[in-house]
Structure 1
Amino acid sequence: MEHFDVIIVFVVLAFILVSLYKEILGAAFTFFVATMVLGFFGVLTPKELLAGFANEQLAVIIMLLLLGDAIRQISVIEIFFSRIFPRQSGYRGFLSRIMLWIGGFSAFLNNTPLVAVMMPYVHNWCKRNNISPSKLLLPLSYAAILGGCVTLIGTSTNLIVNGMVVDQTIFPDMEPIRMFDFFWVGFPMLIIGFLYLFFFGNRLLPERNILSKEISGSERKYVVEAKVHKSSKLAGKTIEESGLGNSKGLFLAEVVRKKYTFQVFDKDFVLECGDLLRFAGESEDIANLLSDGSNLTLPTVGMMSKLKRADVVEIVISHNSSLISKMVKDVKFRAKYDSVLLAIHRNGERITGKLEELKLKAGDVILILAGDDFNSRLQDDLDFYVISKVKEVRKPERYKVWTLFGGTLLAIFLSALNLIPLFMGLLVVLVVINILGVVSAKDLPKNIDYNLAVIIALSLALGTAMIKTGVADMIADFMISILFPFGKIAVLAGIYLITTVLAAYITNKAAVAIIFPISLTAAHALELNPLPFALVVSFAAAANFLTPIGYQTNLMVYGPGGYTFKDFFRIGWPLTIIYMVVTVVILNYMYL
């Protein structure tokens, strides 16, 4: 019977490898079928199958994802990024900021929404500086991966490994992995990864001109007005010093000062308080201008700038509209449609004079900032048609920002000091932000990644089956017999290499599920400290640079960057080898 159980486990492992590599069933359903077979043949009891769902680390992962989604909803990261990434910067300067800021944030926040929020900034910067986004999107993903490996909560992979450490029975006295046990490898590699991409990235990264193909012939230039207000830092600065010559994708066309309009000015033109700046730009560039009111205000917006939430919408004036020949100021967009005009496009025609005094024509495309009542007031109105929603603009309230960020950081800090469990700290934060209305309790279930939860819980059950049947012992003994004659470092390196290859082609969570029990069994057989054998699996699975399918952020930039599998391998394999050497050397020095 024992031999039969061993055969069943090996068959299940082969099924998982083939199914995930060939993408036959999907990760969650693959693990479901695999563990169902183990339960059907009695390899695992129902209690063992379901034990993973009660694992504390699974709950921590879900809560961190929920808090990350709450941070995304209040748009605070987007606003912060608009401040820290300068308007004027060379390629290496912008790359440096991406690597260091995203890497730093990823150590404590879920890196997937960070990359999602940062991608538009990369595209806009590339557009302004005529650089292919393929030169920056892959470093963006790598920065998120490198930063995620610095702490326990930086990536779900680290938390999964910690969950397996808590559940394992091979080393009964083994302590859970602490918050900064990853730091001694993760932080040096964040710096090394930055230096690698800083000095060799531009040479190794491909130049795909997909951006120009996307926008050529389809871009629509709008005219928008912005004012230099009294407390603006731009007053007294030249066009060059202010960075407004081609700011955020907007072309500065005119400066209106009192009764004079300056249409031709050089980089030494000095701005003054009260200057009205007339820009030309695309819809998203103008929408982004709403997020940065520190130096410029949009006169047409007025009190609608106080709204907590609004939409930037494109509309077109219909051919039989009652708005035709009316001045913008006479339309009274705010009273009639709960909206204000931001910018206007007139089929490439040059627009002069103040926007509020412009007479509307049929076919004018207008960018408006719409409030909550816009759609209801638009019913049965044929004056214009809605083309598209460009962007949702949120203005986070300070107490929400401080509650969410402060609470999350406090929970992490107290956990790092071993004063309270991270589980309890995050649970309190979630309760508080719900009570204070930072997020809606009704929306929380919608934001839970149930597939991820199933994969993690069932992968823990798979690990139990491998240890229980002795399969982990068999594979570990085989690895030791080959690698141990070359020393302990060779064993760690072998585990790292196998894990990273599996993670690159069958997902990192599956790789952890298969290799972790083998790694810990090897530590037990060699009578060595189990901690480095747990950490090496985590680093190898999380620091995945070889393929776009190995990590979710790689997949996010794969299409937009126009990359191929060869691109990831060419840039990723040297970094993978460097990461393996650094990991093995440091872990061997510290623990073995």
Structure 2
Amino acid sequence: MPVFEVSSVAVVFLLILAVLVAFVTEVVPNDVTAISVVAALVVLEPWTGVGTRDAISGFANPATVTIIAMYMLSAGVQNTGIVERLGVILADFTGGSEFRALVATVCTTGPIAGFVNNTPVVAVFIPMVTGLAEDSKMSPSKLLLPLSYAAILGGTLTLIGTSTNILASDFARLLIDGRDGIGMFEFSGLGAVLLAVGLAYLLTVGWRLTPARVPPDSDPVSEFDLDDYLTFMQVRPDSSAVGESVEAFDAAHPDVRILQARRGGDAYAGPHSDRVIEAGDALVVHGSLQAVNRFREATGLGQRASSAVTEDTFEAAATEGALAKAVVPERSRYVGETIAETGLHEYHETSVLAVRREGELIRTDLADLTLRTGDLLLVRTTPAAIGYFAETGELVVADERAIEEIAAADTADIAPLSPKTPVALGILATVVAVAALDLLPIVIAALAGVVAMVVTGCLTTADAYDAVSWNVIFLLAGVIPLGIALESTGGAAVIAESLVALDGVLPLIGVLFVLYLVAGLLASVITPVATAVLMIPVGVDAAARLGANEFAFLLAVMFASATSFMTPVGYQTNLMVYGPGGYRFTDFLKVGGPLQLLLAVVATVGIAVGWGI
């Protein structure tokens, strides 16, 4: 290899290594890392061979545009309320049975995720699943991990099931002669087999391995270990609180938060209440032990040591506000902002009491805490705020009981069906049919579907833009040119050589299996999209050198990238259930590791039988 080529490959490999480290450590958000790659590739053009046009080609890539359109189409279907209504039907089906609750969860989520983006599906199902768990007197942890895994498995059913499938289709068009992408249902047979095997595992072995981390009917005060952070205070006649409104008194003492005031048998929510505090009132105060002691001494309040604050304390004022658990989803604008910067307290009368992050419980200095995707918040919030979060998706309320108590609604109000439901479902079905019959390229069919959704009133333009996980789009647009650099400099060929070397000790199906394992492990660390971009060219190149079926090797990377179970960070739905399920990092290894290995075997054999190698 010429010196120039060696140095080019070395530069690209070093850049990939830096990207991998950044993805794993998350020193900056992954989408920021990806956009930095675009700039770095152009700056290093003498070595990477990637100019300005190629560097920004990811934004105009058909896969990127298709994924944007599919996010919008999914939102149009989501707005119909059909998924929520299905959850209500499932609650009736389970009848309080633990196993029925599991069957209902996984057997419904999987097929839906084949046609609707699995992230919003999981967001809708999280509170419903916790409700099913409560009705069945079981830990929600036993259902939430299977929920995520079933949604991931459903993504293997169709071309639009997940973004990695769409990306793989574009790579097939670019890298394999005679291929014009992948058909809508071309791999659905194998996807159905993987779904069936995965569901069978979740209903048997996975059920036994999944831990019950969150106790049934757990009190969130105890679950977040807030016994020393929530205190009853008694208003004495000589206290400076007398005659002040709750809102003014709370604002004057920023180190603590007044969550509720009680008088006689009545309770009313704070801290935004204009109710005037009187002697004899009881106040529920949130803050560290030191802050509460300073507050008590400064205001002349007394402490009611005999009274403990529990969830029941807030249920007395549920029509004004109650406790709720909420997950920060990937596309929330709160990601990257401190809790103070979000304006939750000022604009939505929502007080964050604690945050659970990757097994760590954070209860102090919350105002300065920068929120991340997957954070689980315990909040004292209001009906209006719950409605806002549900409408915008900025937070996913993970507690169905809290939703019901705050909304004070009956079943019909909880899951209303839109009159536009048949129209939205018809548009989605038409998009699938048009793409499946090759009447139009999928990117055009999907964009036309979005236009139809907006024109028919199923989706507003604002909702369409809000539905897109733009961080995923920027991640995709940033790593696509990195894949171009890897291919054009010969870096993909260098990595492919290591796979080719295995041909001397393994049969061809063994090489395919190793490729699947490597791609699956990589997807668990650096996201499925990045794995597909980096590994598909490697797999196709290796197949060409081995004289093997290039499409079979592409499918192996595609399926491996789309089925990442071993870590909470490998797939966004895993991250969404991490906090509500109270899981540990090792739980994903224990439950997801055997599943990923099982599917690696089934998928490798299925690809060999279905397409040949």
Normalised by the length of structure 1, the TM-score is: 0.70
How many Å apart are 1:483 and its aligned residue?
A: 4.1
Within a 5 Å distance, the mapping from 1:406-485 to structure 2 comes to: 406-485=426-505
Aligned 8 A contact 1:523 1:530 in 2:
yes
The code of the aligned residue for 1:509 comes to V
The equivalent residue for 2:607 is: 587
Which of 19, 42, 58 matches 2:64?
58
Write the distance in 1 (CA, Å) between the matches of 2:180 and 2:451: 29
Write the distance in 2 (CA, Å) between the matches of 1:390 and 1:491: 53
Aligned 8 A contact 1:138 1:561 in 2:
yes
The equivalent residue for 2:194 is: 189
Write the distance in 1 (CA, Å) between the matches of 2:555 and 2:172: 10
The equivalent residue for 1:109 is: 116
Write the distance in 2 (CA, Å) between the matches of 1:568 and 1:365: 38
The equivalent residue for 2:86 is: 80
Write the distance in 1 (CA, Å) between the matches of 2:182 and 2:606: 17
Q: Indicate whether 1:151 and 2:171 are aligned.
A: no
How many Å apart are 1:405 and its aligned residue?
A: 1.1
Aligned 8 A contact 1:32 1:458 in 2:
yes
Q: Indicate whether 1:29 and 2:32 are aligned.
A: yes
The code of the aligned residue for 2:91 comes to F
Cα deviation, 1:297-324, whole Å, max 9, x if unaligned, reads xxxxxxxxxxxxxxxxx9999689xxxx
Aligned 8 A contact 1:516 1:534 in 2:
yes
Aligned 8 A contact 1:316 1:364 in 2:
no
Aligned 8 A contact 1:484 1:491 in 2:
no
Write the distance in 2 (CA, Å) between the matches of 1:172 and 1:149: 24
How many Å apart are 1:428 and its aligned residue?
A: 2.2
**Residue segments in structure 2 that go unaligned for 5+ positions in a row:** 224-270, 278-314, 322-380, 388-412
When residues 483 and 23 of structure 1 are mapped into structure 2, their CA distance, relative to the original with a 3 A threshold, is farther
Aligned 8 A contact 2:22 2:33 in 1:
yes
Write the distance in 1 (CA, Å) between the matches of 2:78 and 2:506: 49
Q: Indicate whether 1:126 and 2:129 are aligned.
A: no
The code of the aligned residue for 2:590 comes to R
Write the distance in 2 (CA, Å) between the matches of 1:436 and 1:189: 36
Aligned 8 A contact 1:506 1:550 in 2:
yes
When residues 217 and 422 of structure 1 are mapped into structure 2, their CA distance, relative to the original with a 3 A threshold, is same
> Helix, strand or coil for the counterpart of 1:538?
helix
The code of the aligned residue for 2:161 comes to G
Q: Say which one has the larger Rg.
A: 1
The equivalent residue for 1:209 is: 214
When residues 202 and 398 of structure 1 are mapped into structure 2, their CA distance, relative to the original with a 3 A threshold, is closer
Write the distance in 2 (CA, Å) between the matches of 1:559 and 1:186: 29
The total of aligned residue pairs comes to 443
Aligned 8 A contact 1:546 1:569 in 2:
yes
Cα deviation, 1:162-215, whole Å, max 9, x if unaligned, reads 2222333xx332231111222232111111111111122332111123554434
> Greater CA deviation, 204-213 or 518-527?
204-213
When residues 210 and 396 of structure 1 are mapped into structure 2, their CA distance, relative to the original with a 3 A threshold, is closer
Write the distance in 2 (CA, Å) between the matches of 1:217 and 1:16: 40
> Greater CA deviation, 84-93 or 540-549?
84-93
The code of the aligned residue for 1:21 comes to V
Q: Indicate whether 1:141 and 2:148 are aligned.
A: yes
Q: Indicate whether 1:560 and 2:580 are aligned.
A: yes
Aligned 8 A contact 2:539 2:553 in 1:
yes
The equivalent residue for 2:13 is: 10
When residues 460 and 484 of structure 1 are mapped into structure 2, their CA distance, relative to the original with a 3 A threshold, is farther
The equivalent residue for 1:528 is: 548
The equivalent residue for 1:551 is: 571
Cα deviation, 1:224-269, whole Å, max 9, x if unaligned, reads xxxxxxxxxxxxxxxxxxxxxxxxxxxxxxxxxxxxxxxxxxxxxx
Aligned 8 A contact 2:70 2:117 in 1:
yes
Aligned 8 A contact 1:210 1:562 in 2:
no
Aligned 8 A contact 2:81 2:418 in 1:
no
When residues 493 and 217 of structure 1 are mapped into structure 2, their CA distance, relative to the original with a 3 A threshold, is closer
Which of 50, 59, 68 matches 2:74?
68
Aligned-residue sequence identity (percent) comes to 31
Write the distance in 1 (CA, Å) between the matches of 2:52 and 2:14: 20
Which of 37, 46, 51 matches 1:45?
51
Aligned 8 A contact 1:505 1:547 in 2:
yes
The code of the aligned residue for 1:109 comes to V
Cα deviation, 1:356-396, whole Å, max 9, x if unaligned, reads xxxxxxx9747499xxxxxxxxxxxxxxxx95437436876
Write the distance in 2 (CA, Å) between the matches of 1:583 and 1:143: 16
Write the distance in 2 (CA, Å) between the matches of 1:556 and 1:56: 28
Cα deviation, 1:436-487, whole Å, max 9, x if unaligned, reads 3222224433333222122212322111111111111111012211245311
How many Å apart are 1:425 and its aligned residue?
A: 2.4
The code of the aligned residue for 2:81 comes to S
Write the distance in 2 (CA, Å) between the matches of 1:387 and 1:11: 50
Aligned 8 A contact 2:113 2:154 in 1:
yes
Q: Indicate whether 1:19 and 2:22 are aligned.
A: yes
Write the distance in 2 (CA, Å) between the matches of 1:427 and 1:365: 47
Write the distance in 1 (CA, Å) between the matches of 2:583 and 2:434: 42
How many Å apart are 1:114 and its aligned residue?
A: 0.7
The equivalent residue for 2:335 is: none
The code of the aligned residue for 2:554 comes to A
When residues 539 and 388 of structure 1 are mapped into structure 2, their CA distance, relative to the original with a 3 A threshold, is same
When residues 113 and 154 of structure 1 are mapped into structure 2, their CA distance, relative to the original with a 3 A threshold, is same
How many Å apart are 1:54 and its aligned residue?
A: 1.8
CA RMSD of aligned residues (A): 3.0
Write the distance in 1 (CA, Å) between the matches of 2:506 and 2:591: 29
Aligned 8 A contact 1:28 1:452 in 2:
yes
How many Å apart are 1:530 and its aligned residue?
A: 1.4
The code of the aligned residue for 1:97 comes to A
> Helix, strand or coil for the counterpart of 1:544?
coil
The code of the aligned residue for 1:511 comes to T
Write the distance in 1 (CA, Å) between the matches of 2:221 and 2:50: 59
The code of the aligned residue for 2:105 comes to I
How many Å apart are 1:216 and its aligned residue?
A: 6.7
Aligned 8 A contact 1:483 1:494 in 2:
no
Which of 500, 506, 518 matches 1:486?
506
How many Å apart are 1:518 and its aligned residue?
A: 0.6
Write the distance in 2 (CA, Å) between the matches of 1:27 and 1:161: 21
When residues 191 and 177 of structure 1 are mapped into structure 2, their CA distance, relative to the original with a 3 A threshold, is same
> Greater CA deviation, 501-510 or 548-557?
501-510
> Helix, strand or coil for the counterpart of 2:570?
coil
The equivalent residue for 1:310 is: none
Which of 512, 527, 536 matches 1:507?
527
Write the distance in 2 (CA, Å) between the matches of 1:77 and 1:586: 32
**Residue segments in structure 1 that go unaligned for 5+ positions in a row:** 219-313, 321-362, 370-385
> Greater CA deviation, 175-184 or 110-119?
175-184
The equivalent residue for 1:308 is: none
Cα deviation, 1:5-28, whole Å, max 9, x if unaligned, reads 111111111111111111122211
Write the distance in 1 (CA, Å) between the matches of 2:27 and 2:479: 18
Within a 5 Å distance, the mapping from 1:163-178 to structure 2 comes to: 163-168=170-175, 171-178=176-183
Aligned 8 A contact 1:75 1:394 in 2:
no
Normalised by the length of structure 2, the TM-score is: 0.67
Write the distance in 2 (CA, Å) between the matches of 1:84 and 1:315: 38
